[in-house]
Amino acid sequence: MKFYDCATAPSPRRARIFIAEKGLADKIETVEIDLRKGEQMSESFRAINPRVAVPAIVTEGGEAICENIAIAQYIEAHHPTPNLMGETPLEAARVSEWNWRLEFEGLSAIAEILRNSSPHMKGRAMTGPRNIEQLPELVERGRIRIEYFWEDMNARLTESAYIASDRFTFADITALVLVDFSKWVKASPPETMSAIWDWHAKVSARPGCQV
Ligand SMILES: N[C@@H](CCC(=O)N[C@@H](CS)C(=O)NCC(=O)O)C(=O)O
């Protein structure tokens, strides 16, 4: 299996942490795609992911899988321990439910702020093969969205030791990357949200999350 990564970007870090938490870091070949140099647009990478985004994996059978959730499901099916996607039907549902919220209400809000404000992303307000112009109004909306989401995440972590369950799962990986990514646009959770910050310190200390 090959893993297409980018050391500086948040989305591939999710797959990198997942692979490390599974103890597979030494077993999977990593190929660095430098987004700052635009390497995702190269013909060779387009042949792997026509949607020009990382992460991606290519399986032993030559199949490309290009979304974090799908990569995690594929790796979990082949390497079931330690379980990260949910042991019971209910836990698996909670992992999916929180992961979706973290992506849609969290990561997409931060991406909305970054991609509609950064001068480096002019004409590239969305990932993908088609160029889309920035809309400055979305920056303000992204900030409102993330502030509301931090409230929900802090409330969840006040009642639960981890995001989806009483143990570390894939949802915690998405949440860790979200909190770290939010710093890029100065939209981190407020210091007073101690449930988030206590959880963040605990999760950040895991060896698999040091990548
Ligand atoms: N939903 C995708 C998101 C992938 C994504 O947005 N990747 C970004 C890096 S964080 C990318 O490749 N961007 C390329 C670009 O901006 O052209 C996933 O979670 O796998």
Query: pLDDT tens-digit profile of 1-30?
Result: 999 999 999 999 999 999 999 999 999 999
Domain 89-206 top-level CATH class: mainly alpha
Q: Which of 3, 6, 11, 66 to mutate to test the pocket of ligand 1 (most atoms within 8 A of CB)?
A: 11
Query: What residues are in contact with ligand 1 under a 6 Å CB criterion?
Result: 9-11, 35, 40, 52-55, 67-68, 124, 127
Length of the chain counted residue by residue: 211
**What are the residue ranges spanned by the domains of the chain?**
2-78, 89-206
How far apart CA 154 and CA 106 sit, in angstroms, is 13
Cα of 41 vs centre of ligand 1, distance in Å, is: 12
For residue 100, give the nearest of 162, 165, 171 by alpha carbon.
171
Are domains 2-78 and 89-206 of this chain identical in fold? no
Query: What is the CATH number assigned to the segment(s) 2-78?
Result: 3.40.30.10
- Output the residue whose Cα is nearest ligand 1's atom 2: 67
Cα of 127 vs centre of ligand 1, distance in Å, is: 6
With a cut of 70, list the residues of the chain below it in pLDDT. none
How far apart CA 119 and CA 32 sit, in angstroms, is 24
Residue 96 has a pLDDT of 98
**Cβ atoms of residues 15 and 5 within 8 Å:** yes
Using DSSP's 3-state secondary structure scheme, residue 207 falls into helix
